[in-house]
Amino acid sequence: MTKATQVTDHGGGVQSIRVPIPDNPLGYTLIYVLDTDAGPVLVDTGWDDPESWDTLTAGLANCGTSVGDLAGVLITHHHPDHHGLSAKVREASGAWIAMHEADAAVVRRTRENDPSRWYAYMARKLLAAGAPDAHVAPLARARDEGAPRRLPGLDPALPDRTITPGDLLPLPGRRLRAIWTPGHTPGHVCLHLEEEHPARLPGNGRLFSGDHVLPGISPHIGLYEDPDDATVTDPLGDYLDSLERVGRLAPAEVLPAHQHTFTDAPARVRELLEHHESRLTGLLTLLAEPLTPWQLAERMEWNRPWADIPFGSRTIAVSEAEAHLRRLVKLGRAEAVAGSDPVTYVAAP
């Protein structure tokens, strides 16, 4: 495949580049290039990897511009497949980087936190969720040895600007409005291009949806992990509210960060809402007996049997189980068993 095939022209001054994510089943991030009177602006940047960088820069050339010409970078959320190359883009162009404040806070925390503090926090959380010692041991070892976090995006770029929900972004010649869609991350935003669809498809403009609404995948919803904040958040509740907000916008076309563009956003939103409702109902059946979050995760349906899920993904799965428990408790459909340690949850009578 030549680099030229990585670029798609969506019309109306919007193109996209498929920037690969190495060793990841998602395959690539769709990086959008939006023309403005001040120069091209990117929506997300892609994974920090030499091949990804080469694809991005070659793609920009195929879009008729270059990385040095970029005026700005709008980040849908802080994940490394979206924000990974931002520092390199800024270095090569002087472009500003904009992000919602809640995700900027995650970036600051990631940069400032001592890795051993993070490991200690995660080990504590996993034990409280009922994880077996064998699962927590590597984290405890890393905490004690002060090992660096072997995670990508350890040193993500600090944004220069804040994306304020509800505001039109200051992009000369364009009408692009920020829609706050927390859930997948606390500061996830969708960007609504309030201009008529270039092919005059019915609906309200186009929506850059990041990971919030994808055509064939339901994004991961876990807890917002913050060692400094004990607030009991409800990320799944946030996500479901954000979904309804995006459905009501009724954009003519959705430009997501993975997979492919699609129409009829309200139908996709309904599908996702139904998926989560049936998942929550299914969990209540499992919660006929008291279960820790870990035990619930073991019994939940994943894309493969629990025994085949590797260490890191199990941690993510437990976080997703906890997000669902939070929602059920908040709705009064499940409750914590008084005095249980680690805490167990059971369906409400």
Between residues 187 and 247, which has the closer beta carbon with respect to Zn ion?
A: 187
By CB under 5 A, is residue 44 in contact with Zn ion?
A: no
> Which of 83, 135 has the CB closer to Zn ion?
83
Residue nearest Zn ion, Cβ-based: 79
Of the two residues 113 and 259, which places its CB atom closer to Zn ion in the complex? Answer: 259
CA–CA distance, 177 with 251 (Å, rounded to integer): 13
Strand order in the sheet with 96-99: 7-11, 14-20, 28-34, 41-43, 72-74, 96-99, 161-162
Q: In the complex with Zn ion, which residue's Cβ is closer, 107 or 136?
A: 107
Query: Rounded distance, CA 338 to CA 318, Å?
Result: 21
Q: How far is the CB of 79 from Zn ion (least distance, A)?
A: 4
Cα(127)–Cα(277) distance, integer angstroms: 28
Cα radius of gyration rounded to whole Å, the chain: 21
Q: Does residue 211 interact with Zn ion by CB under 5 A?
A: yes
Under the binding rule (CB under 5 A), the answer on residue 234 touching Zn ion is no
Other CB atoms within 10 A of residue 109 CB: 15
Q: How far is the CB of 252 from Zn ion (least distance, A)?
A: 23
Number of residues engaging Zn ion in binding (CB under 5 A): 3
Nearer to Zn ion, 81 or 322 (CB): 81
Contact region with Zn ion (CB under 5 A), list: 54-62, 158-166, 211-219, 285-293: 211-219
In whole angstroms, how close is the CB of 114 to Zn ion at the nearest point? Answer: 25
Binding mask 81-100 for Zn ion (x = CB under 5 A): x-------------------
Nearer to Zn ion, 26 or 300 (CB): 26
Cβ 189 to Zn ion, closest distance in Å?
12
Closest separation between CB of residue 292 and Zn ion, Å?
27
Sheet of 206-210, strands arranged across: 176-180, 189-193, 206-210, 253-256
Write down the least CB distance from residue 334 to Zn ion, Å: 27
The residue among 57 and 181 lying less far from Zn ion, judged by its C-beta, is: 181
Burial code (b: 16+ CB inside 10 Å, e: under 16) for 92-104 equals ebebebbbbebbb
Exposure class string for 313-327: b at 16+ Cβ within 10 A, else e: ebbebbbbbbbbbbb
* Phi, psi (degrees; rounded to nearest 5) at 67: -60, -35
How far apart, in whole angstroms, are the C-alpha atoms of residue 8 and residue 261? 11
**Which class for 161: exposed (0-12), middle (13-18), buried (19 or more C-beta within 10 A)?**
middle
Contact segment (CB under 5 A) with Zn ion among 42-50, 54-62, 63-71, 73-81 equals 73-81
Between 81 and 298, name the residue whose CB sits nearer to Zn ion.
81
Residue 10 contacts Zn ion per CB under 5 A? no
**Does residue number 79 form part of the binding site for Zn ion (CB under 5 A)?**
yes
Contact positions vs Zn ion (CB under 5 A): 79, 81, 211
